[in-house]
Structure 1
Amino acid sequence: MFQRVFNKIIGFYKLSSNMSLPLIVILGSTGSGKTKLSLELAQKFSSEIIGADSMQVYKGLDIITAKATKDEQNLATHHLIDVLSPTEEFTVVDYRDRALNIIDRLLSENKIPIIVGGTNYYIESILWKILISEPGSVKTNKPGIMPNNDHELSNEVLHKKLQDLDPVMARRLHPNDKRKVLRSLEVLYRNGKRHSDLLAEQQTSEGGSSTGGALRYPNTIIFWLQCNQNNLDERLNKRVDLMIEDGLLNELESFHTQYNANRIKNEIEPDYTKGIFQAIGFKEFHKYLLLSPEERKNPEGEKLFSTGVADLKMVTRRYARKQTRWIVNRFLARTDRQVPPVYGLSTDDINKFDENVTNAAIEIIESCLSGTPSKYNPLPKRINVKTFPNSTADTNRCEICNRIFVGEHQWAAHKKSSKHKRMAMKKKKEGEVAK
C-alpha cells in the first residue's frame, strides 16, 4: 500500500517539478552504523540496498566481513552481497557495471537506490564517470586484440612494452603490478586508443576534473556517519570481541581448511592480496590457524591467539581511520570536481541514533523529494586540508634502495623513512671507503 502511494507521490514530483529521484549513499568508518541506517531508510521508503563492499560480494566469512545478518537482509532487498565464490576475480569495473544496471532499473521503477559500504573506490566508480570499461565490453571496429603470449611475459618485459605503446600510463603503474599493466595494454588493443588518452578525455569532458569524469547522478545525497575517534576505537574493540563470541575462529578455520590447507601442504603460500583473502582478520590469524587443535591449547597457541585478536583490533582501527581520511579527501577537500552534498550525522550516542541519524536522514530525503529546503545543512568544504595525490601520479625510482614508488605520497613517505635514511648512510660510507 505504502509503495503505491509513494510511487504516486514520486510521479507527481517528477511531473510537477521535473525532479529525479535521489541516489542515497551512506558513508562512514567500519562500525559507525551504516547497516542500521540503510535498513531503516529502505523500510521507510520501500527502497532497495546495494552493497559497496569488496569483501561482502563473496560468499562465506559472514562474521569477519560484517555482513548484514540473514534476518536483516530479509527486511529489505539487498544486491551485490554473496554473489561470488571466494576464488573468483572481481574488479572495480565489474562492480561498477553490475551496480549501475541495478541503480538504473530501480530508478526506472520509482525506487530510491541506497548505496552502503566501506569500499571507497567502489563508491567512487558509481558516483563519477571514471575508469574505462573492461576490454571486450566495448564494441569496437578496431582490429587489435591482446596477443596470446602477453600473459606469459615477465613483468619487466610487459612494462617495457607498455612504455613503448603508452609511456604516460607506464609512468603511473608499478612495473610489478602485472594485472594493471596487462589491463592498460588490453584497453589499447581493444579500443584502438591509449589508456592514458581515454582517461584524459574523461577528465577534460564537461564536468570532468583532474580526478576523473563528471558526476554520474547529479541528484545524489550523501550521509556521512561520524563518530568521535576515541568512541569509535572503543566500539571497534568491542566489536572484535563480539565477533569472537559469535564464532569468528570457527568461521576462519572452516574457510582455511577449505581453501588454504591444501596450498600450504604443497608449500604454496596463500595470497592475501586477492579476493576475499584480503579480508581483515584472515591474515592476522594465519599462524594460529596452522596449529593443530592440541597446539592451540598450549601456551604458544594461546599467545598466537591473543596476538591475532590484538592485531585484528589494531588493523580494524587503522582501516577506520583510512576510511575517514578518504571521505575528507575525496568529498570535502576537493575544489576541482563536482561533489554532491555531504550531510554529517553523529553516531556518538547510540541511544540517540533515531533522533540524530535516522530522523535527520529521513527529513533530508523528504525535503529533496518535495523540493523544499531542509533544516539540515551539508558539511562545508575543508579548503585547508592537504589532499592525497591522485592515482595518476608518476612513478619514482629510489636508486639508493632500488625500489619503485607510485605517486608523490608514497615517494615522499619513503624519502622520510628510517630505512631509506639508513641505506643512504650505508651507501655514503661505502663510497667513502672505496675512495
Structure 2
Amino acid sequence: MVIESLTDLFQTRELRFSKRYISITSETRFKKQPVIFIMGATGTGKSRLAVDIATKYSGEIINSDKMQVFKGLDIVTNKITEHEKKGVPHHMLGHIDPDYEYTAQDFCYDALAFIRRVGRSGKLPVIAGGSNSFIEKLVEDPLFGFLSKYECCFIWLDVSVPVLYSYVQRRVDQMVIEGLVDEVGGIFKPNADYTKGIRKSIGVPELENYLQAETEVNNKTAENLLQVAISDIKSNTCKLTDSQISKICRLKDELMWPINRVDATKVFKKRGKEAAAAWEEQINSPFS
C-alpha cells in the first residue's frame, strides 16, 4: 500500500524528500489522504516530474490543465504521450467535448471523484497541470472542504524566466514541425468563437488569419502570415508563463500555501543527454 510506504518515508528523516518537500506533523500523519500537487508554468516539466513521483510511490496522475481536459489538439495542448506516461495511469486527460465550456467547478467535482477513487485503491493521487485557478478553486473553496480531508504537498517546478522563454519558443518550433498547423486546420471554422472550449488554446486563434487566407493569396504572402502566427504563438506562450508564475507567487505569498519551490533552471540550460542526466541528478533524485 502506498500509504504505508509514504508513512515510512516521512518517518525517515534523512531522506531529502521528507525534509525538503513534504511537511506533515505527527498529529496529522495520514489521518487524511495525502495528495501531491505538481505546479509550474507551461514547459517546466510538470508531467515528467509527476510520472517520476507516481512511478516511485505507486501513484496515479490527475490532470489539472484546463486545455488538456479536452479531446483533440494533442500537439497544440502538449498532451503527454503514451510513451512518456511510462505506464502510469492518467485521468481527466482528453475526456471533455472540445466545444464544452469546462469550468473550475466542473474540474473540482471531477478531480474529487478521481482523488477518492485513486485513494481507495491504495494509490497516491498526483495532481499535475498549469491551471492554477482550477487548483485554487479545489483547495480554497469552502464548498469542498479540501484541506479538512486531504494532506497536501505542493511542489513548484520553476525555471528562470529568460531560460524558460527560450525553451518554450523552441518548443513551439518543434510543435510546428510535428504538425501543429495541420492540427489546427482540422478544426478551423471561419469567425469561430475563441472564448469557449478548446479553441481558447494558444495556437488556435493566432492561426485564424493564415488559415482564412492561405488558399486565396500567393505563397509568399501565406508564408508571411504563417510566420506572424508562429511569432504570436511564441509571444502569447511567454505571456502565459508570466501569468502562471504570478498566480503561484500569489498562492504562496498572499494565501500562504506551503509551496515548495524546485529550481530546474540548470537542467533547462543543458541539451540532450546532459539535460537528461541533470534531470535525474537535480530533480528526480531528491524524490528517491
Q: How does 1:348-359 map to 2 (within 5 A)?
A: 348-350=265-267, 351=275, 352-359=278-285
TM-score (norm 2): 0.83
Q: Does 1:34 align with 2:46?
A: yes
Q: Could you tell me how far 1:349 is from its partner in structure 2?
A: 2.1
* Runs of 5+ unmatched residues, structure 2: 11-25, 268-274
Q: 1:220 to 1:11 in 2, by over 3 A?
A: closer
* Residue 286 (structure 1) aligned to one of 208, 215, 229: 208
2:243 partner letter: K
What is aligned with 2:159? 227
Identity of aligned residues (%): 31
Q: Does 1:298 align with 2:219?
A: yes
The code of the aligned residue for 1:245 comes to I
1:124 offset after TM fit, Å?
1.1
Correspondence 1:171-210 to 2 at 5 A: none
For residues 65-95 of structure 1, give each alpha carbon's deviation from its aligned partner in whole angstroms, at most 9, with x where no partner exists: 0110122235210010111121123221111
- Matched-pair contact (CA < 8 Å) for 2:48–2:84: no
Structure 1's 83 and 214: CA in aligned 2 closer, same or farther, altered over 3 A? closer
Establish whether residue 53 from structure 1 lines up as the match of residue 65 from structure 2: yes
User: Does the 8 A contact of 1:34 with 1:225 survive in 2?
Assistant: yes
**What corresponds to 1:345 in structure 2?**
262
CA contact (8 A) 1:23 1:217 kept: no
Show the counterpart of 1:313: 234
Give the C-alpha shift of residue 217 in structure 1.
4.7
Unaligned runs of 5+ in 1: 134-212, 364-435
Considering Cα pairs closer than 8 Å and 6+ residues apart, tell me whether 1 or 2 has the greater RCO. 2
How many residue pairs get aligned? The number is 262
**TM-score normalized with structure 1 length:** 0.56
SS at match of 1:222: strand
- The Cα offsets for residues 152-179 of structure 1, whole Å up to 9 and x where unpaired, read as xxxxxxxxxxxxxxxxxxxxxxxxxxxx
Tell me if structure 1 keeps the 8 A contact 2:157–2:261.
Answer: yes
CA RMSD of aligned residues (A): 2.4
SS in 2 for 1:277: helix
Larger radius of gyration: 1
Give the counterpart letter for 1:319 in structure 2. L
Indicate the SS of the match to 2:107: helix
Return closer, same or farther for 1:123/1:304 CA change in 2, 3 Å cut-off.
same
Matched, 1:242 2:254: no
Code of the aligned partner of 1:34: K
Aligned position for 1:136: none
Judge conservation of contact 2:51–2:86 (CA < 8 Å) in 1.
no
The answer to whether 1:253 aligns with 2:253 is no
Counterpart for residue 98 of structure 2: 86
How far the C-alpha of 1:125 sits from its partner, in A, is 2.1
Q: CA 1:358–1:11 in structure 2 vs 1: closer, same or farther (change >3 Å)?
A: closer
Superposed structure 1 runs of 4+ greater than 4 Å apart = 10-14
